[in-house]
Amino acid sequence: MFGSGRRSRRLWITLAQLALVAAFLAAWQWLPTIPWLAEKSHVFDSFFVSSPSKIVARLRDLFFGPPGVTPIWTYIWNTMSASTLGLVIGLTLGGVLGLILGSSAVLSDIFRPFLVALNAIPRIALIPIVVVLFGPTSLGSITVSVMVTFFVAFFNAYEGARSVAPPLIQNAQVLGAGRAAIMRYVRLPYVIAWTVAALPLAATFSVISVVTGELLIGAPGLGLLLGNATSTADATLTFSLVVILSALGVVTVLIADQISKRVLHWWAK
Protein backbone atom coordinates (compact mmCIF):
# COMPACT_ATOMS: atom_id res chain seq x y z
CA MET A 1 0.00 0.00 0.00
CA PHE A 2 2.81 2.29 1.02
CA GLY A 3 4.78 1.09 -2.00
CA SER A 4 1.93 1.77 -4.43
CA GLY A 5 1.54 5.29 -2.92
CA ARG A 6 5.21 5.93 -3.56
CA ARG A 7 4.89 4.60 -7.14
CA SER A 8 1.93 6.83 -7.95
CA ARG A 9 3.76 9.85 -6.46
CA ARG A 10 6.71 9.04 -8.69
CA LEU A 11 4.40 8.72 -11.72
CA TRP A 12 2.86 12.10 -10.95
CA ILE A 13 6.27 13.71 -10.64
CA THR A 14 7.37 12.21 -13.99
CA LEU A 15 4.16 13.37 -15.66
CA ALA A 16 4.60 16.87 -14.23
CA GLN A 17 8.18 16.96 -15.49
CA LEU A 18 7.13 15.82 -18.98
CA ALA A 19 4.35 18.43 -19.00
CA LEU A 20 6.86 21.15 -18.08
CA VAL A 21 9.21 20.11 -20.90
CA ALA A 22 6.32 19.92 -23.37
CA ALA A 23 5.06 23.37 -22.33
CA PHE A 24 8.54 24.84 -22.65
CA LEU A 25 9.06 23.32 -26.11
CA ALA A 26 5.60 24.42 -27.25
CA ALA A 27 6.27 27.97 -26.06
CA TRP A 28 9.66 27.94 -27.76
CA GLN A 29 8.10 26.65 -30.98
CA TRP A 30 5.09 28.98 -31.17
CA LEU A 31 5.87 32.20 -29.29
CA PRO A 32 8.53 33.37 -31.84
CA THR A 33 5.88 33.03 -34.61
CA ILE A 34 3.98 35.98 -33.11
CA PRO A 35 5.45 39.06 -34.94
CA TRP A 36 4.42 41.45 -32.17
CA LEU A 37 6.53 39.53 -29.60
CA ALA A 38 9.54 39.24 -31.92
CA GLU A 39 9.55 43.02 -32.32
CA LYS A 40 9.54 43.45 -28.55
CA SER A 41 12.56 41.25 -27.79
CA HIS A 42 15.23 39.09 -29.51
CA VAL A 43 14.29 36.35 -27.03
CA PHE A 44 11.11 35.85 -29.07
CA ASP A 45 12.78 36.23 -32.48
CA SER A 46 13.30 32.85 -34.19
CA PHE A 47 16.42 34.23 -35.94
CA PHE A 48 18.12 34.42 -32.53
CA VAL A 49 16.48 31.51 -30.69
CA SER A 50 15.61 29.17 -33.55
CA SER A 51 12.90 26.60 -32.76
CA PRO A 52 12.65 22.98 -31.52
CA SER A 53 11.47 21.71 -34.93
CA LYS A 54 14.41 23.37 -36.72
CA ILE A 55 16.82 22.01 -34.11
CA VAL A 56 15.47 18.46 -34.52
CA ALA A 57 15.84 18.76 -38.29
CA ARG A 58 19.39 20.10 -37.92
CA LEU A 59 20.31 17.34 -35.47
CA ARG A 60 19.07 14.79 -38.01
CA ASP A 61 21.28 16.44 -40.66
CA LEU A 62 24.25 16.55 -38.30
CA PHE A 63 24.06 12.84 -37.51
CA PHE A 64 22.72 11.45 -40.79
CA GLY A 65 23.38 14.45 -43.05
CA PRO A 66 24.06 14.74 -46.75
CA PRO A 67 27.29 13.20 -48.08
CA GLY A 68 30.27 15.54 -48.35
CA VAL A 69 29.57 17.24 -45.03
CA THR A 70 31.88 16.33 -42.15
CA PRO A 71 29.73 14.18 -39.89
CA ILE A 72 29.23 15.36 -36.31
CA TRP A 73 30.78 12.09 -35.08
CA THR A 74 34.24 13.39 -36.02
CA TYR A 75 33.74 16.47 -33.84
CA ILE A 76 32.27 14.41 -31.00
CA TRP A 77 35.21 12.01 -31.21
CA ASN A 78 37.71 14.91 -31.10
CA THR A 79 36.05 16.48 -28.06
CA MET A 80 35.41 13.30 -26.13
CA SER A 81 38.82 11.74 -26.83
CA ALA A 82 40.53 14.97 -25.73
CA SER A 83 38.30 15.09 -22.62
CA THR A 84 39.01 11.47 -21.72
CA LEU A 85 42.75 11.76 -22.32
CA GLY A 86 42.94 15.04 -20.40
CA LEU A 87 40.92 13.50 -17.57
CA VAL A 88 43.13 10.41 -17.34
CA ILE A 89 46.36 12.45 -17.43
CA GLY A 90 45.02 15.06 -14.99
CA LEU A 91 43.72 12.47 -12.52
CA THR A 92 46.94 10.44 -12.69
CA LEU A 93 49.27 13.43 -12.25
CA GLY A 94 47.08 15.00 -9.58
CA GLY A 95 46.65 11.68 -7.77
CA VAL A 96 50.37 10.90 -7.75
CA LEU A 97 51.39 14.39 -6.62
CA GLY A 98 48.61 14.38 -4.00
CA LEU A 99 49.89 11.04 -2.72
CA ILE A 100 53.50 12.28 -2.53
CA LEU A 101 52.75 15.62 -0.87
CA GLY A 102 50.03 14.16 1.35
CA SER A 103 52.49 11.54 2.62
CA SER A 104 55.36 13.91 3.37
CA ALA A 105 54.94 16.82 5.76
CA VAL A 106 58.16 18.47 4.52
CA LEU A 107 57.30 18.26 0.81
CA SER A 108 53.78 19.40 1.60
CA ASP A 109 55.05 22.46 3.46
CA ILE A 110 57.37 23.33 0.55
CA PHE A 111 55.05 22.83 -2.41
CA ARG A 112 51.49 23.30 -1.19
CA PRO A 113 51.52 27.14 -1.18
CA PHE A 114 52.62 27.12 -4.84
CA LEU A 115 49.87 24.70 -5.80
CA VAL A 116 47.25 26.74 -3.95
CA ALA A 117 48.46 29.86 -5.78
CA LEU A 118 48.42 28.04 -9.15
CA ASN A 119 44.92 26.76 -8.47
CA ALA A 120 43.76 30.33 -7.82
CA ILE A 121 44.71 31.36 -11.38
CA PRO A 122 41.65 31.33 -13.65
CA ARG A 123 42.48 28.60 -16.16
CA ILE A 124 40.92 30.62 -18.97
CA ALA A 125 43.69 33.20 -18.49
CA LEU A 126 46.27 30.54 -19.37
CA ILE A 127 44.59 29.54 -22.64
CA PRO A 128 46.51 32.13 -24.74
CA ILE A 129 49.73 30.55 -23.47
CA VAL A 130 48.43 27.12 -24.47
CA VAL A 131 47.71 28.49 -27.98
CA VAL A 132 51.26 29.81 -28.25
CA LEU A 133 52.71 26.53 -26.95
CA PHE A 134 50.64 24.00 -28.87
CA GLY A 135 48.67 25.92 -31.47
CA PRO A 136 45.04 25.13 -32.34
CA THR A 137 45.50 21.38 -31.94
CA SER A 138 43.96 18.57 -29.92
CA LEU A 139 47.09 18.70 -27.77
CA GLY A 140 46.04 22.21 -26.78
CA SER A 141 42.53 20.98 -25.76
CA ILE A 142 44.03 18.11 -23.79
CA THR A 143 46.37 20.51 -22.02
CA VAL A 144 43.46 22.74 -21.00
CA SER A 145 41.63 19.70 -19.61
CA VAL A 146 44.72 18.56 -17.70
CA MET A 147 45.11 22.05 -16.20
CA VAL A 148 41.60 21.79 -14.79
CA THR A 149 41.32 18.13 -13.77
CA PHE A 150 44.81 17.99 -12.27
CA PHE A 151 43.83 20.32 -9.44
CA VAL A 152 40.54 18.54 -8.75
CA ALA A 153 42.44 15.25 -8.43
CA PHE A 154 45.39 16.75 -6.58
CA PHE A 155 43.44 18.34 -3.77
CA ASN A 156 41.28 15.24 -3.33
CA ALA A 157 44.28 12.88 -3.35
CA TYR A 158 46.18 15.17 -1.01
CA GLU A 159 43.32 15.17 1.50
CA GLY A 160 43.00 11.40 1.03
CA ALA A 161 46.66 10.81 1.89
CA ARG A 162 46.47 13.14 4.88
CA SER A 163 43.21 11.68 6.16
CA VAL A 164 44.73 8.25 6.82
CA ALA A 165 44.28 7.84 10.58
CA PRO A 166 47.64 7.36 12.39
CA PRO A 167 46.51 4.09 14.06
CA LEU A 168 46.03 2.56 10.59
CA ILE A 169 49.65 3.30 9.74
CA GLN A 170 50.87 2.25 13.20
CA ASN A 171 48.92 -0.99 12.90
CA ALA A 172 50.61 -1.75 9.57
CA GLN A 173 53.99 -0.84 11.13
CA VAL A 174 53.62 -3.25 14.03
CA LEU A 175 52.58 -5.95 11.55
CA GLY A 176 55.95 -5.49 9.89
CA ALA A 177 55.20 -3.02 7.08
CA GLY A 178 58.04 -0.77 5.94
CA ARG A 179 57.59 2.62 4.27
CA ALA A 180 56.98 1.12 0.83
CA ALA A 181 54.41 -1.37 2.15
CA ILE A 182 52.59 1.37 4.07
CA MET A 183 52.49 3.44 0.89
CA ARG A 184 51.21 0.50 -1.16
CA TYR A 185 48.77 -1.09 1.24
CA VAL A 186 47.48 1.86 3.27
CA ARG A 187 48.06 5.29 1.72
CA LEU A 188 47.71 4.41 -1.97
CA PRO A 189 44.27 2.75 -1.67
CA TYR A 190 43.04 5.78 0.28
CA VAL A 191 44.38 8.15 -2.36
CA ILE A 192 42.88 6.08 -5.19
CA ALA A 193 39.54 6.09 -3.37
CA TRP A 194 39.56 9.85 -2.89
CA THR A 195 40.69 10.44 -6.46
CA VAL A 196 38.04 8.14 -7.90
CA ALA A 197 35.44 9.86 -5.71
CA ALA A 198 36.32 13.06 -7.60
CA LEU A 199 35.85 11.33 -10.97
CA PRO A 200 32.26 12.47 -11.75
CA LEU A 201 33.12 16.10 -10.98
CA ALA A 202 36.45 15.95 -12.81
CA ALA A 203 34.84 14.29 -15.87
CA THR A 204 32.29 17.12 -16.13
CA PHE A 205 35.03 19.72 -15.74
CA SER A 206 37.07 17.95 -18.39
CA VAL A 207 34.31 18.15 -21.03
CA ILE A 208 33.60 21.80 -20.17
CA SER A 209 37.28 22.76 -20.27
CA VAL A 210 37.92 20.96 -23.58
CA VAL A 211 34.91 22.64 -25.24
CA THR A 212 36.01 26.02 -23.83
CA GLY A 213 39.53 25.37 -25.07
CA GLU A 214 38.30 24.41 -28.55
CA LEU A 215 36.09 27.49 -28.62
CA LEU A 216 38.94 29.81 -27.67
CA ILE A 217 41.95 28.24 -29.38
CA GLY A 218 40.14 26.85 -32.42
CA ALA A 219 41.22 23.27 -31.83
CA PRO A 220 39.14 20.67 -33.70
CA GLY A 221 36.00 19.56 -31.87
CA LEU A 222 32.49 20.56 -30.87
CA GLY A 223 33.80 23.81 -29.37
CA LEU A 224 35.22 24.88 -32.74
CA LEU A 225 31.89 24.10 -34.42
CA LEU A 226 30.11 26.05 -31.69
CA GLY A 227 32.43 29.02 -32.29
CA ASN A 228 31.71 28.89 -36.02
CA ALA A 229 27.95 28.65 -35.41
CA THR A 230 28.04 31.67 -33.11
CA SER A 231 30.18 33.76 -35.44
CA THR A 232 27.84 33.03 -38.37
CA ALA A 233 24.79 33.74 -36.18
CA ASP A 234 23.49 30.22 -36.86
CA ALA A 235 21.17 29.90 -33.86
CA THR A 236 19.83 26.50 -34.97
CA LEU A 237 23.33 24.98 -35.13
CA THR A 238 24.27 26.63 -31.82
CA PHE A 239 21.27 25.14 -30.02
CA SER A 240 21.77 21.78 -31.75
CA LEU A 241 25.32 21.69 -30.42
CA VAL A 242 24.11 22.70 -26.97
CA VAL A 243 21.73 19.72 -27.05
CA ILE A 244 24.54 17.39 -28.12
CA LEU A 245 26.88 18.77 -25.43
CA SER A 246 24.20 18.40 -22.76
CA ALA A 247 23.61 14.78 -23.78
CA LEU A 248 27.36 14.10 -23.77
CA GLY A 249 27.65 15.75 -20.34
CA VAL A 250 24.89 13.54 -18.92
CA VAL A 251 26.41 10.39 -20.44
CA THR A 252 29.85 11.36 -19.10
CA VAL A 253 28.54 11.86 -15.57
CA LEU A 254 26.58 8.59 -15.70
CA ILE A 255 29.63 6.62 -16.86
CA ALA A 256 31.93 8.35 -14.33
CA ASP A 257 29.39 7.71 -11.58
CA GLN A 258 29.17 4.01 -12.47
CA ILE A 259 32.98 3.64 -12.52
CA SER A 260 33.23 5.46 -9.20
CA LYS A 261 30.54 3.24 -7.62
CA ARG A 262 32.13 0.05 -8.88
CA VAL A 263 35.64 0.95 -7.76
CA LEU A 264 34.41 2.20 -4.38
CA HIS A 265 31.91 -0.60 -3.74
CA TRP A 266 33.48 -1.12 -0.31
CA TRP A 267 32.87 2.48 0.77
CA ALA A 268 30.45 2.69 3.71
CA LYS A 269 26.96 3.21 2.37
Partner 1 sequence: MTTTGVRIEGVGYEYPTGVLALSDLDLSIPTGSSVAVVGPSGCGKSTLLQLLAGLRAPTSGHIDWPAFPPGVHPMTVVFQTDTLLPWLTAEENVGLYFKVGRAGRRVGRAAARARVDALLKMVGLQDFARAYPYQLSGGMRRRIAFLTAVAPQPAVLLLDEPFSSLDEPTRVTIHQDVLRIMSELDMTVVLVTHDLAEAITLCDDVVILTARPGRVLNRHRVPFDRTGRNAIELRHSREFLDLYALLWEELGSQIFTTSPDQQGSTSHVR
Q: Where are the alpha helices (DSSP H) in 65-122?
A: 72-103, 105-120
Binding flag, residue 162, partner 1 (CB under 8 A): no
Q: Residue 145 is which amino acid?
A: S
Q: Which of 35, 71, 113, 178 binds partner 1 (CB under 8 A)?
A: 178
Q: Does 168 bind partner 1 (CB under 8 A)?
A: yes
- Asked whether position 189 contacts partner 1 by CB under 8 A, the answer is yes
What is the total residue count of the chain?
269
197 exposure class (CB count in 10 Å sphere: 0-12, 13-18, 19+): middle
Considering the rule CB under 8 A, would residue 196 count as an interface residue with partner 1?
A: no
Taking the C-alpha atoms of residue 57 and residue 64, their distance in angstroms, rounded to an integer, is 10
Of the candidates 25, 88, 139, 177, which one interacts with partner 1 according to CB under 8 A?
A: 177
Site membership for partner 1, residue 193 (CB under 8 A): yes
The interface region with partner 1, picked from 16-24, 105-113, 116-124, 185-193 by CB under 8 A, is: 185-193
Distances (CA, A) of 24 to 29, 51, 130, 134, 191: 9, 11, 40, 43, 44
Q: Does 126 bind partner 1 (CB under 8 A)?
A: no
Q: Which is nearer to partner 1, 99 or 127 (CB)?
A: 99
Q: Tell me 164's DSSP state.
A: S
Q: In this chain, which of 47, 133, 185, 254 binds partner 1, going by CB under 8 A?
A: 185
Whose Cβ is closer to partner 1: residue 120's or residue 268's? 268
Phi-psi region of 68 (alpha: psi -120 to 50; beta: other; left: phi over 0): left
Contacting positions for partner 1 (CB under 8 A): 165, 167-168, 170-178, 181-182, 185-186, 189, 193, 265-269
